[in-house]
Structures are given as structure tokens and as C-alpha cells.
A = this chain, B = another copy of it.
Amino acid sequence: MATELKHLTKRSENYSQWYNDLVVKADLAEQSAVRGCMVIKPYGYAIWEKMQQTLDRMFKQTGVQNAYFPLLIPKSFLCREAEHVEGFAKECAVVTHYRLKNSPDGKGVVVDPEARLEEELIVRPTSETIIWGTYRNWIHSWRDLPVLCNQWANVMRWEMRTRMFLRTSEFLWQEGHCAHATAEESEARTVQMIRLYAEFAEKYMAMPVTIGVKTANERFAGALNTYTIEAMMQDGKALQSGTSHNLGQNFAKAFDVTFANRDNQPEYVWANSWGVSTRLMGALIMTHSDDNGLVLPPHLAPIQVVIVPIYKNAEQLAEITEKVMPIVERLGQLGISVKYDDADNKRPGFKFADYELKGVPVRLVLGARDVEAGTVEVMRRDTLEKSTMPLAGIADQVATLLEEIQKNLFDKACALREQKTYVCDSYEDFKERIENGGFFLCHWDGTPETEELIKAETKATIRCIPLDGDETPGVCMVTGKPSARRVIIARNY
């Protein structure tokens, strides 16, 4: 089993296969019996839970409250906003019946044709329609605004080509849906949330992101404007990691949601929505992990420290355990999650490989000689460096080391992104170099036609128009027409 654990495709051989291998071998997720849907295994789910808890706290600090809206959406609701239905109708699971019955041939059950729904129900691909249908009853006056709701939920989009975490038919996410009295307030909240996502990505996931605006082609179906955070994976491809949409008054108009303003005049409500999903798990994996397995930033690792004893007999184990217990206790006091793995049915070598594969940030190993010498072997997962340290005060040392690892992972990811970000002014040059991945800062004439040409010829897309950064005008690298500023072009997940 230990050798099987080790057998992970190398990134340099096949990055895509490495990712698929890792997701399964590190016990994060697996394909289910349902096409395109995954099972999130306990270890993978524990990481997602840490993300959820952190984001949930951050949302609540900005005044957001959680709520829950129905899974199923009446078909007519989806149709109310013209662009929205266009964007989602082609990939949705449709509930048409509400009962099965025994098969006439006596084998199993069949759909009962008499239990056909009058109106079909759609498994939510996103909840703007059902939520704005609900807000209609909640909002009457400017005093009822803003409404700041979020829900943690499962959603479904019938994707043709799926990859675990990155693109699955069912996925878990959160979707925030805010209602405001003014366009300015709604825009401010839209930007606030994309900046919150960026802060989460950088502080907790140790993943640098670029905040930007999507082009019209890449906008959310029904939005005036979509903000995005784009991260660079190790292979130089982009991963859209979170979005925040300014929906203007589109959904308020579609569902007739008005409020009496301070002058007692009716006005349509202003909306925004914002979400991140289990896709972040894919981003986390592809930002930090290596050929030995997962590398987790300490702030999101379910187990931050593992302690493995090396012993020949019960007496030695007892001596080691006596030294380990105060460390476990002190780490607990420091809010650090620790696992003391004294299981005797697995060899230390197996344990080492397994915790490496699972990305546990720090490993402590204690043998009989360490007990005598008052030392402990410390390994950090990010660099795989080992060192021998004094047992005295080790818990506090580990706390410092965890922060160092967190910072190192972020710095490494920043360095890679810098190394693979190019200023490029020649389309010929671009077409050649895009094969090797990377973010290209290019001038673009702002037309959908040029954008589509680039996509058709190079499989690269405009990831975003960066929010912060250089705003020098120039000329489009494809058409030579004027360009207001450089945009980021890349291939993407």
C-alpha cells in the first residue's frame, strides 16, 4: 500500500493526470455513480469546512445573514429574465414527475405517468430567480433595505465535460444576494465582496489573485457587470476563483420588486450576487501541491501537525507518549490541530508517505534516542526540509513555523505568477508563447469580435480587465485599433 501511495503521476509528465491522481489518492473526492457528480470524502470535506467557516465569519462581519431558499425553481421563474434563461436553460436538470410506481412487468419501479407536474421544476443552477421572487414580499420601503442574504447550498449545471472540483454537474457553493436602495450602494457591495474573496484567497489559501472585470462575453447571464478573482495555477493556466455580479435592476424588474423611497416614490431595487464554490478546492490543490502529494497552507489544513512515534516496544512507546502529551496539550492551547498517530498497525514509513500525500504542514518524529537527547525531528511539508530541534518549547516553535510555511507558500505562488506573467504586444509572439501557459498582458480593442478571434485561434480568453494596475492606453495586438488599457489573456480551467 505504501508503494501504491507513492505512485503519483509527476507534474512534468502530465499535469492534468497528476491532478486527477492526487484528488483520488489524497482521499479528497471520487467519481460517483451519477454522471458528473462527485463524492466529497471526509478529508476533502474537512478542508472545505475550514473554507466555509472562515468565509462565513467574514461575510457575517459585513452584516450578511444566512438563509435558505428552495432547491427547485418553477420553469416560469427561470424565464423571467431573458439573458438569464438563455445562459442556464441548456444545462439544467428538470423534475417532471413526483412519484414512481411498481413496474407493470413486476420488475422494479417506473415513473408514474399520472404524477406529472403541471409545471416542470428546475434543480437550481443558481438562485437569483427564486430569491428575487421571494424578495418581492420582503421589500416594501427604503426601511427594509438593504437585504443582505447568503445561502450555503448545492446547485446543479448539467456539464458535458466534468473534472472533480473544477467542473462538476452538482457542486457546493455559497451564493450571496443583496438588495439595495441605490445603484451606488449596490456597486459598492459588489466590489466589497470581490475584495473579500481576494482577501480570503490570499490570507487563507495563500493564493495570489488578480481582481478584475469580465468582458461582456464572459459576464454572468443577467448581470450588468461581473467582477472576478483570477488565480494562476502551476501550469500557467488561469482559474476563475470567485465572482461578484452587479445585476442592476434586471431582476427587480423581472420580478417586479419595488420599494417606496424616502420621498415615498416607487423605485426598482438594485441587486448584486456573489459566489465561490468547491472549485476553490481545485484551485488550492493546483496552486501548492507537488509530486509527493498535497501541500496545504496551514490556515486551511484540517490536521496542522502530526506526531509520529518510532519505537521497538511498549515501554519505549510509553516513554515517547509521556513526552508527546504536553506538546499535544500546548498545541491545543495555541489553537493548533494536532494528531498523535501511535497506531501500531502501520509502519512509520507508511505513515510518513501518507501524511506527505495528505499535505499535513508539519510532521514531528520522536524516537527513543530523541527522548534521551531531548530532541525531536521536525519536517515541514512545503520544502520537505528536516531539522532536529530541542523538545523544550517545541510547540511554540511549531506555531511560528506554521506561519512561516503559510507565508512561504504565498511567496512561492507570487513568484511563480510573476515569472509567468508577460507583457506582450505581438499577436504572432502571443500565439507561440501561449502554448506554454502564463498570463499575457495585452492591448485589446474592446470588441467581442477580436475577443472571439483570439479564443478561436488560441483557446485563450480574456480573463479580466484588472481593477488595480496600469491604465496606459495603446493599440490592440490583433487589430492595431486603439486600446484603453492592457487586459489579462490566458488559457483557463
Contact = CB atoms under 8 A, between A and B. Distances in A.
A42 B70 contact: no
B149 A72 contact: no
A67 B79 contact: no
A345 interface: yes
Interface stretch (A96-104, A431-439, A457-465): A96-104
A207 B76 CA distance: 43
Nearest to A49: B66
Contact of A33 (B45, B89, B96, B133): B133
Contacts of A38: 70
B98 A95 contact: no
B123 A71 contact: yes
A34 B74 contact: yes
A92 interface: yes
A451 B244 CA distance: 57
A41 B74 CA distance: 20
Given A78-B109, A134-B32, A98 B89 contact: no
A158 B99 contact: yes
Interface in A117-164: 120-123, 130, 133-134, 137, 143, 149, 153-154, 156, 158
Given A32-B130, A76-B108, A98-B92, A40 B68 contact: yes
Nearest to A345: B143
Contacts of A345: 143
A170 interface: yes
Nearest to A88: B100
B32 A70 contact: yes
Contacts of A153: 154
B42 A149 contact: yes
A197 to B, nearest CB: 22
Contacts of A70: 32-34, 37-39, 170
Contacts of A134: 30, 32-33, 39
A362 interface: no
A42 B66 contact: yes
Contacts of A133: 33
B120 A101 contact: no
A253 interface: no
A75 interface: yes
Interface residues of A, number: 63
Given A33-B130, A66-B45, A69-B32, A96 B99 contact: no
A123 B75 CA distance: 17
A42 to B, nearest CB: 4
Contact of A72 (B75, B92, B93): B93
Contacts of A93: 72, 95, 97-98, 121
A95 B96 CA distance: 6
A72 B170 contact: yes
Nearest to A148: B42
A312 interface: no
B68 A39 contact: yes
Contacts of A83: none
A457 to B, nearest CB: 30
A67 B39 contact: yes
Contacts of A76: 108
A91 interface: yes
Given A68-B40, A95-B95, A109 B79 contact: yes
A298 B3 CA distance: 54
Interface of A: 30, 32-34, 37-42, 45-46, 49, 65-79, 85, 89-102, 108-109, 111, 120-123, 130, 133-134, 137, 143, 149, 153-154, 156, 158, 170, 172, 345
18 contacts: A33-B70, A33-B77, A33-B130, A34-B72, A39-B67, A40-B68, A49-B66, A70-B170, A89-B100, A89-B102, A91-B99, A92-B99, A94-B96, A94-B97, A94-B98, A94-B111, A95-B95, A96-B96
Q: Which 4 A-B pairs have the closest CB atoms?
A: A42-B65, A89-B100, A40-B68, A37-B70
